[in-house]
Structure 1
Amino acid sequence: MSKTYRIGIIGCGGIANGKHMPALKNQPNAAMVAFCDIDEQRAREAAEKFGAPEAKVYTDYKELLSDATLDIVHVCTPNDSHADISIAALEAGKHVMCEKPMAKTAADARRMVEAAKRTGKKLTIGYQNRFRADSQYLKRVCDAGELGDIYYAKAHAIRRRAVPTWGVFLDEEKQGGGPLIDIGTHALDLTLWMMNNYKPKAVLGTAFHKLSQREGAANAWGSWDPKKFTVEDSAMAMITMQNGATIMLESSWAINLVRTGEAKTTLCGTEGGADMDDGLRINGEKYGKLFTNRIELDARGVDFYDGSKEDPADLEMKLWLAAIENDTDPVVTPEQACVVSEILEAVYESSRTGKAVYFE
């Protein structure tokens, strides 16, 4: 790397502290020099923990963006502000990583794509599950054509009882939705990426409000307040693509299913299949017999060495900075992320109208 990139963080809450700032801290060519949050104390704590010695603190993101020395901005705010802040950052001459989902609405996502093209700055979205070891391996399998034509897939994002009760997760106005837009978005992104198919034809879906109004419910993070639970508790959809491929999308924070799995995909192709139900498994037929191979992703060779496994968030940040350094496309392109947002919005629209949504 030829330079150290000066980075600003807008939104110093959970996802910034849980992923962005620790992973950027691990990059030798990254320096976090600006921190912004509507809660000034939260921004100051982030600057003290992760910032360079000269780091500045802001409560207005527009003031942060006026710093001409910043190269990159990470947007880690609620969904309803993703588009406006990202577009302002692009127009201020910064490269932008925005947290998932790309935006609250598909129209906003398209505005972000247009802004990136207009400004010539790079824009990526934080779909970190692409950077897991199993995802990276499966992507190589798919790109090599080993599964053949992938014509059927499932995108899994199922929690039995794990409703996030903090922040604005339950606020439809701020978030735009519940588990579908929160974790379903990861599973859908992963599935489309593996298939390399971004041309949807039609979507038929249902968003359910079946368990959200229960008092004293069992939950990983303690019972939720039904009065604040304004989003769906689960959502399911069938997505057909222009080439005839079909994807079943399932997402939930609360549902009566014992089998759970988050940010996973199942793929069925003409030459083989893959799933993430028990580690990464590849299945197929060879010499007239069926086979199922479980991929060993840990590089164990001797008793005292467990191998090295790069943290997905670290790899995400390393490749993001490399794309800027080498002037190449980021792993997650804005055009790909925009399609994810368009499909998610179509699921919600289909649920509201009771009809399939067709793409032009």
Structure 2
Amino acid sequence: MKTDKQQVGLAIVGCGTIGRIRAELARAFPGIGWIGLCDIKSDIGRKLAEDVEADFYTDDYRELLNRPEVTATIIATDENFHFDPTMLAIEKGHALFIEKPLATDARQSAQILAAIEENGIDAVVGYTQRFRRRFLAIKERLVTGQIGDVHSVVTRAFMNRMVPIATTQRTQERATLTPMVVSGTHSLDMSMWLMEGKKPVSVFAQSCDKVLSAHGTKDSTFGVFTMEDGTIWSMNISWALPEVWPGAVYGIEIGIVGTEGVIDIEDTHRDLVMATNVAQGGGYVPDGYVPPARHVDFLTSYPPGDLHDGQLWGPMREETNSWFQRVYAGARTPHATAADGHRNLMMTMAMDLSAKRGVPVALPVDPDELMQELVG
């Protein structure tokens, strides 16, 4: 832990849903001495600046990140726009919190990681589910050898289609906005974190697009990874379930088999169900899209957490406040590193590449090769 604690000057680039959550938590954290905000949509940005009594607001990220008060930066823009503000924050030497992914271009992701490592930046990536009590408990059992050496893993994620519709509607650059890259990355990160130390050497995957091809993306991607030590891992996601599917975002099931035991995880949120005549809204609803009324909800299935008395409670609160403690006091935290984030992107894209080729792909894959074949 640090003994010479200095007040943190925090910049948040991107004032949408996640930027707002983190800004509100920052205002309540005693180690944050200054908050600056940026968003290209000035109405959204200025409203958040007013709500959290920010010290500075601009619609130009360069103006914000060049402020002398800034010592730490959160990158919370849309996925396609992480690269430029992230590289400037690295140049300025800021501690970094980057919402996943580092970038949607594998070459840019590699460039970001290289810059972070060359400049000795403390950078983490937003994989919120690592901060849930159940997964921390499972991680502890694995690292203490309670089920022996893991040799077989199965991961399944199911989501309704509101997320891909919302994600693709914001941009025409959709070639890399696939179920694995955008959403499967969360269950992939969780699985790789739980299998810490396992090195993937190949993947064979397949995809289909009967529903979401009209939105420029795939419905589902299923794949099998082989690890260097012979461990096999089935990684599957579908984000094409009907809009009326009760999960606010997604449910995950993971089975982990070791030489001495097994851990079986059902994280589908079907243990807390609400049925009501009152129509329920969706988790992610883009402008111009009106989803059908939903009258059944799996409560607690919104990944950031849940609102009570005007405050968000749950893993995103834990994740954000832990990062503030990391930056302010040097606390040890279970955040995903920049290297984890880059690995996750490369693995999700390798699944898409294998599905496109129809054959197994050897890992690791060169970023240029990935982008050339996936985007052209």
**Structure 2-normalised TM-score?**
0.76
Q: Percent of aligned positions with the same letter in both sequences?
A: 25
Among 222, 228, 231, which residue is 1:245 paired with?
A: 231
Q: Is the 8 A contact 1:198 1:336 kept in 2?
A: no
Tell me the residue number matched to 1:128: 128
The answer to whether structure 1 residue 317 and structure 2 residue 320 are counterparts is yes
Residue 182 of structure 1 and its aligned partner are, at CA, apart by: 2.1
Give the total of aligned pairs: 314
Tell me the residue number matched to 1:94: 94
The answer to whether structure 1 residue 29 and structure 2 residue 31 are counterparts is yes
Q: Is the 8 A contact 1:190 1:264 kept in 2?
A: no
The answer to whether structure 1 residue 343 and structure 2 residue 347 are counterparts is yes
| Alpha-carbon distance between aligned partners in 2 of 1:193 and 1:50, rounded to the nearest angstrom | 34
The answer to whether structure 1 residue 356 and structure 2 residue 342 are counterparts is no
| Alpha-carbon distance between aligned partners in 1 of 2:208 and 2:169, rounded to the nearest angstrom | 16
* Deviation per residue, 1:89-135 (Å, 9 max, x gap): 11112111110122213322221221111222211100000001111
| Alpha-carbon distance between aligned partners in 1 of 2:164 and 2:66, rounded to the nearest angstrom | 34
Q: Is the 8 A contact 2:159 2:240 kept in 1?
A: yes
| Alpha-carbon distance between aligned partners in 1 of 2:71 and 2:157, rounded to the nearest angstrom | 34
Residue 73 of structure 1 and its aligned partner are, at CA, apart by: 0.8
Any idea what SS the aligned residue of 1:165 has? helix
The answer to whether structure 1 residue 230 and structure 2 residue 216 are counterparts is yes
Tell me the residue number matched to 1:196: 196
Q: Is the 8 A contact 1:148 1:271 kept in 2?
A: yes
**What RMSD in Å do the two structures reach over aligned CA positions?**
2.7
| Alpha-carbon distance between aligned partners in 2 of 1:314 and 1:7, rounded to the nearest angstrom | 17
The answer to whether structure 1 residue 72 and structure 2 residue 72 are counterparts is yes
Unaligned runs of 5+ in 2: 270-311, 365-376
Tell me the residue number matched to 1:40: 42
The answer to whether structure 1 residue 266 and structure 2 residue 270 are counterparts is no
The 1:264/1:112 distance shift into structure 2, 3 A limit, reads farther
Residue 359 of structure 1 and its aligned partner are, at CA, apart by: 1.6
The 1:205/1:59 distance shift into structure 2, 3 A limit, reads same
**Structure 1-normalised TM-score?**
0.79
Q: Is the 8 A contact 1:157 1:263 kept in 2?
A: yes
| Alpha-carbon distance between aligned partners in 2 of 1:78 and 1:340, rounded to the nearest angstrom | 18
| Alpha-carbon distance between aligned partners in 2 of 1:72 and 1:343, rounded to the nearest angstrom | 28
Any idea what SS the aligned residue of 1:207 has? strand
* Deviation per residue, 1:130-157 (Å, 9 max, x gap): 0011111111111111121111112332
Q: Is the 8 A contact 1:169 1:175 kept in 2?
A: no
Residue 32 of structure 1 and its aligned partner are, at CA, apart by: 5.5
Unaligned runs of 5+ in 1: 214-225, 281-308
